[in-house]
Amino acid sequence: MIEPILALVFLTFVVLLIAFLRRVRSVQTRTVRLSYYRVFQGAVMPEDVAKGTNAYANLFEIPVLFYAVAILAIVQSYETNMMVMLAWIYVACRAVHAFIHLTYNNVMHRLFAFVAGNMCVIAMWVLLAGHVL
């Protein structure tokens, strides 16, 4: 179960790097003034910068519930094949979601990856609750 956790952490750092590089490029190309990043006000954020920022922020929403259920599964010695499979599917869905968000950004495609991943996390919580209760 630790491997999917580490994979999602790695994905988060990759997206953070992409978001950072996009911000740096926006200043270097003078698309955005450096002062904009003090409080994120005063200009329209370029689409590629917004995509990077939003993709990174998304990795701190539902993934928090994933980390919690995955760690609880480890603590409870409930690393079943089903839990591990759901964890890997969730990580794959997050990777697909981030890829879509950072590239062509089709909302319906992104929504499918988002919903599929969230269903995995819900299933993990239901399975863990059934085991503990």
Question: What's the pTM?
Answer: 0.89
Rounded CA separation 35/24 (Å):
12
pLDDT band for position 40 (cuts 50, 70, 90)? low
The total domain count for the chain is: 1
- Which residue, chain included where needed, has tokens 């089709």? 106
Mean pLDDT of 30-55: 79
Contact 101, 54 (CB under 8 A): yes
Q: What is the CATH number of the domain that holds 108?
A: 1.20.120.550
CB 46 within 8 A of CB 21: no
Backbone angles phi, psi at 20, to 5 degrees: -60, -45
Q: Which domain holds residue 56?
A: 2-132
Instruction: Supply the DSSP symbol for 44.
Output: P
Give tens-digit pLDDT for 48-104. Answer: 888 898 899 989 899 999 999 999 999 999 999 999 999 999 999 999 999 999 999
Confidence of residue 33 (pLDDT cuts 50, 70, 90): confident
CA angle 77, 87, 71 (to 5 degrees): 40
How far is it, in rounded angstroms, from Cα 73 to Cα 61? Answer: 20
